[in-house]
A and B are shown apart, each in its own frame.
Chain A
């Protein structure tokens, strides 16, 4: 900005004094270097991503080659007899994340709409802060809470459904609690972008809060809300510590909602440090699968975002 001004007022570089010209040249140089540094940073991320994918593929190749299709069809992960089936872990990962989303989405949207539409002014700030604090709790704390509080509660209240308290559904509930703050925070910010004039006109026409939320707010910020959900889903898919504590860590495929199971992240966390050879390679292959699942979810969300005409954050 400063440069253009200087050029305009002096109408041409020729009339500039030696020192000014030097200063300008130096600024231009700094700018060039700044751009190069920015490019290097951005490129480093790409490079890193590529390197991670490449090393995952290379190190998981022995297992993929050895087991082939059976890696995806075998119903158990038994390291001692070198039978490695990804199915129990993939099933657990997808199911727990699904349970988490099913619980978290309505609750989060509800909180967000309450905060933006119905919340008394004096409550708004403390409530928002508390939700943001929830988002900052380390996952190991959720894990301990799940094991020491939630699991015993579920066991006491529903002994026939949760005989051990732990299991896939328990992990899904913990994940829901963990991602609610994320989805809520994003949704609240997105809903706040709806112009006041829009909702005021709707209220002016005699709409109820439900109607305003349902017909005015949600449709106009659909894309942003999807973005928030995907952010939460991304966290749920890869969450490790909290899930490991409560998922039951059973390595047999157990296609139920409340049974004991495992997830990709939990299985890797449990076995990686003691593994070698084929087992390590198979665990890395699991990591690759998680990578692909997460990538697919993000790509799907991008697709939804592009196809939605709504505003987004």
Chain B
């Protein structure tokens, strides 16, 4: 009797499973952790609407590039864009999906509001050249603040990450010394300071250490109530990090003239632009092995461009402007199935 019930159950679930798999194969993707919250929110909403799920593994940007190069997933995601040459070598197409800001947070007992910094000073702090909060360079930028004689502890991300890439990319642009001695990358050797794990680790190290300064994705800073630095942007204005200044930086981005859509939005021009803004990218093969899977993925991205803006903003991400989304849709015609036809037919 029991055996019979089991057999029925098993065969039943097998049939159901097979039917389910046939009707709606989940879209597979892997990569960057930075946009993971917004991707998973989109995926939930999209599944409710279309019945098609998204299986996204947030294994990091490097892993995403590896997985898409090895063709184990339909799309890869990376916070650091690939250059045109790298894309062409691997037959990949790249486009920006969502943007966000990296902010500098600090914790100095006795200072309750915010502080102003400029790029070169920030770079000097992370180079270990400015070691005290009452340093002249910081005092000059904050004439109204009584800075205490506290040692600065720079905090950085210990593991390879897209956040590291954006931050070092910014510092390399504003300081030649930083560029020559440390350089940009997902994982660099910091001359000074403490490495903490992940955004959460950096946030907690800042909160615990008097004199600490660190950088996190904006969403984390907002959730953890950290004191944020205002930064002087390329136009020479001191701006506050928030949705408006991220949008201002994004609005000035010239995607049209960026070969392979390689564009890092740090140190953008514009009066109100936040200097450390970045996009997270999607990577797909131009020559799709499975035309259906690629078409499903593109449908999802199209849906996200059309309907995902509010969800992104509520999670402190910046949606791509409509004109950029349209440009990306046009680039999708380069993705072709095994029979040579474009898989994306709007």
Residue positions of A touching B, CB distance < 8 A: 76-81, 83, 147-148, 151-152, 155, 163-166, 244-245, 248-252, 260, 262, 270-271, 273-276, 279
> Within the complex, which residue of B183, B195, B210 is in contact with A248, where a contact is CB–CB below 8 Å?
B195
Given A79-B188, A80-B168: A274 in contact with B194 (beta carbons within 8 A): no
Interchain CB contact under 8 A, B191 and A79: no
Q: Which of B106-165 contact A (CB under 8 A)?
A: 151, 153, 155, 158-161
Q: List 16 A-B contacts (CB under 8 A).
A: A79-B187, A80-B184, A81-B185, A147-B205, A164-B153, A248-B195, A249-B195, A249-B196, A251-B190, A251-B195, A270-B160, A273-B63, A273-B159, A274-B60, A274-B187, A276-B66
Interchain CB contact under 8 A, B204 and A250: no
Interchain CB contact under 8 A, A270 and B183: no
Residue positions of B touching A, CB distance < 8 A: 59-63, 65-66, 151, 153, 155, 158-161, 168, 182-197, 201, 204-205, 208-212
Interchain CB contact under 8 A, B159 and A77: no
**In the complex, chain B residues whose CB is within 8 Å of the CB of A151:** 208
Interchain CB contact under 8 A, A163 and B151: yes
**In the complex, chain A residues whose CB is within 8 Å of the CB of B151:** 163
Interchain CB contact under 8 A, B190 and A166: no
Given A155-B209, A260-B194: A273 in contact with B59 (beta carbons within 8 A): yes
Give the distance to chain B from A149, nearest Cβ to Cβ, in Å.
10
> Within the complex, which residue of B61, B195, B211 is in contact with A274, where a contact is CB–CB below 8 Å?
B61
**In the complex, chain B residues whose CB is within 8 Å of the CB of A78:** 182-183, 185, 188-189
Roughly how many angstroms separate A152 CA and B204 CA in the complex, as a whole number?
11
Q: How many A-B residue pairs have CB under 8 A?
A: 106
Given contacts A151-B208, A276-B65, 14 further A-B contacts (CB under 8 A): A80-B185, A81-B183, A245-B201, A248-B195, A249-B158, A250-B193, A260-B193, A262-B195, A270-B159, A273-B59, A273-B60, A274-B62, A274-B161, A274-B187
Give the distance to chain A from B287, nearest Cβ to Cβ, in Å.
22
Roughly how many angstroms separate A262 CA and B195 CA in the complex, as a whole number?
9
Roughly how many angstroms separate A270 CA and B183 CA in the complex, as a whole number?
19
Given A274-B62, A274-B159: A164 in contact with B209 (beta carbons within 8 A): yes
Interchain CB contact under 8 A, B204 and A147: yes
Give the distance to chain A from B155, nearest Cβ to Cβ, in Å.
8
Roughly how many angstroms separate A260 CA and B151 CA in the complex, as a whole number?
15
Shortest 3 CB-CB contacts between residues of A and residues of B: A80-B185, A249-B195, A274-B160
Roughly how many angstroms separate A80 CA and B59 CA in the complex, as a whole number?
19
Give the distance to chain A from B210, nearest Cβ to Cβ, in Å.
8
**In the complex, chain A residues whose CB is within 8 Å of the CB of B209:** 155, 164-165
**In the complex, chain A residues whose CB is within 8 Å of the CB of B201:** 147, 245
Give the distance to chain A from B130, nearest Cβ to Cβ, in Å.
14
